Amino acid sequence: MQFPSPVSISWIADLIQAKTVGNTGASATGINELHKVEKGDLVFVDHPKYYDTCINSAASFIIINKETMVPEGKALLIVDNPFEAYCKIVDQFRPFEPSSKMISDSAVIGEGTFLYPNVFAGNHVRIGKNCIIHPNVTIMDHCIIGDRVIIQAGTVIGSNAFYYNGNKDRELWYKRMPSCGRVIIEADVEIGAGCTIDRGVSHDTFIGQGTKMDNMIHIGHDTIIGKNCLIAAQVGIAGVVTLEDGVILWGQVGVSKTLTIGANAVVYAQSGVVGNLEGGRSYFGSPVQDAKEKTKELVWVKRIPELWDKVMGK
């Protein structure tokens, strides 16, 4: 999440009652979780396993629970509970806003766009021109819809991310991280019925121009889907996934988190993707393999009884 304008580290330190070390005279431009940090961002870390990764990431400012070495130009904000400090900053800049109307007064609806009955458009939503939004679609706060987008009935855009801070030393092991990111949908996208697209935890979930989605699809937080992708029914995509341009996922494909599928790759139905895939190839199986090699393997598996009979002399 980008702040409306740069915020001084000294002001943030006062807000979260932090001790500061390093470049304390600088200003932060946003707050992000580790997978999406950029220069100028605040990030938090509360486990020694991730100290080095976090401190040496693109983030300029680190909320941490231990004083340690800090690279030149960066700053540490030292607190007892970095997660709670992170949540306090998010709540300060993206507070909960109740809605009492189906179409918020702060929503902007483009010329020529038609909203069927029972569409909900939350606070600060922007919908482009000549869109068709079918009944019972929910578009949550701050989401952005481009021109000529079609969204079928019952779809939810911008639901909270399935993303939790885990700590087994407390009564509640899992505490939800507040989702301050958005969903951004570019022009000429079509989304089927009953889909759920989670907002980013602290960055944006993004769907590129011309992508077409079938019914009953789930897109996880902070996922980036490129232009002109084709996604069939019942596909599930976890968080922080990148689908490059032209990717095709057929029905019931499952995609694990934090991976990339290269441009123009095709994944056949009911396959499971657990790692990065090279573009321009076809894949099948769970876990996926090159489709031609997997097909050969299945042919040989079917021949096992025949080969066994030959070996046994039957």
Q: Which residues carry out catalysis?
A: 221
Residues 218 and 253: their CA atoms lie apart, in Å, by: 11
Decide if 201 contacts 163 (C-beta within 8 A). yes
Encoded tokens for 305: 């009884």
Q: Are 142 and 124 in contact (CB under 8 A)?
A: yes
Give CA 115 to chain center in angstroms.
26
Q: What is the largest CA-CA distance in the chain?
A: 84
User: What backbone torsions phi and psi does residue 204 show, to the nearest 5 degrees?
Assistant: -125, 145
Number of other residues whose CB lies within 10 A of the CB of residue 88 = 16
